Structure 1
């Protein structure tokens, strides 16, 4: 199922940038072929134009799937732009679709639409593991907390921490600028997109960061939060600003925000010590009493939009930690995950924090 979903995402992105990239037309045709081979004769889109039309409809209406989250995924909106769900649900299913042969999309498609999270993480991991365990923790947290900003500040911080370059930083993308300014998502700090209609938002919906651009009265433009959005950060000048690649943002920064936040929440419990990425990421978080050496809790944090996709991943490759932890905003997945993963201890951020506090208090 992952191959046709990845093909749909790649075709959707190609169609959204067809005016800027001549390669886009061939990519849509190529991905239509991938989907046709999956669906079989007489099923699914027959020509590229038909695929484009279907990308505006929920996947479940033309690509049968047992995953409810995937069935509701619409790849392209009415303006032929990728929907936010492609950054959330779609990323759970990204795989290589042209294994064993040259992939022309490698040369121009954004890397998260070509590679799986494991591939992006592995490349960065090779640079992180060169040093000590402490270097690994410092380096990974640095990436999470410095996904964008002024280049000079990032370089100074990197030098201050004694880190060698871990990833490449590039200029703020054009679609995330407005008249020389950009906005960092108040949750992940990566540049938010700016639409021609004046909507500024982080494409990762659980961050609840959607705003309307106002002209304002000062030098810096202002943002008006949409209903349910958290307060925005101030506009920053584009001049001298950089950010990590989109794939690093989606596969390392976004989940890392939850990992760092949870570690800090647990570490605030009296008498408790919480360590990030012990033994170079054997677990995401190890928890113990401050007076002890051994871990009492080992946690692996997973943030998937699809409970089914997460369960399939963990059945294929079980976690080494004693507890699987999902973000609070995924709490509606608990019942389904416990059904799909019997025997696995599963909790939300808040639940595991309370469990640890209670256990440490009772001395159990």
Structure 2
């Protein structure tokens, strides 16, 4: 038996919530009840006599690929292992799993809302709307400035972040909190070179951004009498110096995953296009009617409208587009998702799907022809 992405959203969300609860069971008394509740959600999905029937059985299954116990046509989801050997959520849970997360108890009291990270209890759209609700009543420029600020300042010294926010005339957008313990090492932390959010530090001395496509993985070197530094693994960019935890803050995990991570690609592409001669790019026009609008510098009509989507699973992305069609003329995926092009072309035959470099080159050629 296989199941559609929409139908799978509930059991996958339940599995992720149970996995997180297991990872914090020693610190959170509510964790055991959460695992039991999520076992019930998954039992209802399977029906009587099928699937895991006890919390301990579910926890054991979370250490195995989902496809071995939750039938799916999505290869990315089938290979997802939620809990690693260390009993913590795997990096892929932050990528693939987020493609499926939904609000399980919409319209009901959710006991997990008081302590579960919000990306495990909310859809991406809910997190985004909450973050920018104070900007919607302002001008388009205010909205763009605020959204860009959040993407570019997800962590850092609290005083510096507040100074930048004040200088831009922005209201408080989201809560910034101290650097989490699992992202610290002896009073220091390291931002991911790509998204600038604190990287995770393992007990074995491995430091990495939990969003795998950023390829930020390092070995912690701590020689006697020397400041700690990170040695890049193969393909990883330089990590830069460690920063002091004292006085440093960061946005919540849900804001990082649903606003900062996709925003990095949106801003990068916007800035590349906007630097082309004779071309003007607009970020989040109409308060995010689409992600990027492109015009000739002397004209008002849009030449291109772009909506950037970053999903680990093309099956989940296609289901999302079919549920909520984009208003832009092109669907743009990050270069690190280029292997999804053929599959997305098959799943979304009416949608123009391109990578960020493909659309940039197309607009660049047009700009040169106009000179």
Shorter-chain TM range is over 0.9
Matched, 1:163 2:170: yes
Q: Which runs of 5+ in 2 are unaligned?
A: 1-7
Corresponding position: 1:44 with 2:48:
no
Q: Which residue of the partner structure matches residue 325 of structure 1?
A: 332
Where 1:224 maps in the other structure, the secondary structure is: strand
* 2:276–2:367 CA contact under 8 A, matched in 1: no
TM-score of the aligned structures, taking structure 1 as reference length: 0.98
Aligned residue in 1 for 2:289: 282
- Of the structure 1 ranges 7-16 and 101-110, higher mean CA displacement relative to structure 2 is found in 101-110
Paired residue for 2:317? 310
The 5 A counterparts of 1:78-97 are: 78-97=85-104
Task: Encode CA deviations 1:91-116: one digit per residue, 9 max, x unaligned.
Answer: 01001222343211111111111111
Moved runs in structure 1, 4+ residues, more than 4 A? none
Q: How does 1:262-281 map to 2 (within 5 A)?
A: 262-281=269-288
> How far off its partner does 1:217 sit?
5.3
Q: Any conservation in 1 of the 2:192–2:199 contact (CA below 8 Å)? A: yes
Contact 2:154 2:250 in 1 (8 A): yes
Equivalent residue runs for 1:184-263 within 5 Å: 184-216=191-223, 220-263=227-270
How far did 1:126 drift?
Answer: 1.0
The superposition leaves residues 11-35 of structure 1 with CA deviations (integer Å, 9 ceiling, x where unpaired) of 0000011111111111111101100
2:123 equivalent to 1:123? no
What displacement does 1:117 show?
0.4
What secondary structure does 1:36 align onto?
helix
Give CA-to-partner distance per residue, 1:270-319, whole Å, 9 cap, x none. 21111100111111001111121221000000000010111011111111
Q: CA RMSD in A?
A: 1.2
Q: Which residue of 2 aligns with 1:69?
A: 76
- Indicate conservation of the 8 Å contact 1:185/1:233, yes or no: no
Q: Is the 1:214–1:224 Cα contact (8 Å) retained in structure 2?
A: yes
SS class of match (1:325)? strand
Greater CA drift, 227-236 or 245-254: 227-236
Q: Say which of 170, 176, 184 aligns to 1:177.
A: 184
Give the length in aligned residue pairs. 364
* Structure 1 unaligned regions, length at least 5: none
Alignment of structure 1 residues 105-144 onto 2, 5 Å: 105-144=112-151
Aligned residues of 1:89 and 1:305 also touching (Cα < 8 A)? yes
Instruction: Give the Cα–Cα distance (whole angstroms) in 2 for the partners of residues 283 and 79 of structure 1.
Output: 40
Corresponding residue for residue 13 of structure 1:
20
Residue 321 of structure 1 and its aligned partner are, at CA, apart by 0.6
Q: CA deviation at 1:251?
A: 0.3
C-alpha separation between the residues in 1 aligned to 2:202 and 2:359?
39
Aligned to 1:338: 345
Stretch moving more, 4-13 or 123-132: 123-132
Matching of residues 289-308 of structure 1 within 5 Å: 289-308=296-315
CA distance in 2, matches of 1:363, 1:15: 59
Assess if the C-alpha contact under 8 Å between 1:198 and 1:213 holds in 2: yes
Cα deviation, residue 45, structure 1: 0.6
Q: Is the 8 A contact 2:270 2:282 kept in 1?
A: yes
Q: Using the alignment, how far apart are the partners of 1:357 and 1:217 within structure 2? A: 51
1:42 positional shift = 2.0
Cα deviations by residue, 1:55-86 (Å, 9 ceiling, x for unpaired)? 00000000001111100000001111100011
Deviates more, 1:265-274 or 1:240-249: 265-274
- Using the size of structure 2 for normalisation, the TM-score is 0.96
CA distance, structure 1, for counterparts of residue 136 and residue 129 of structure 2: 10
Q: 1:133-161, CA deviations, whole angstroms, 9 ceiling, x for partnerless residues?
A: 11111100000000000011001101111
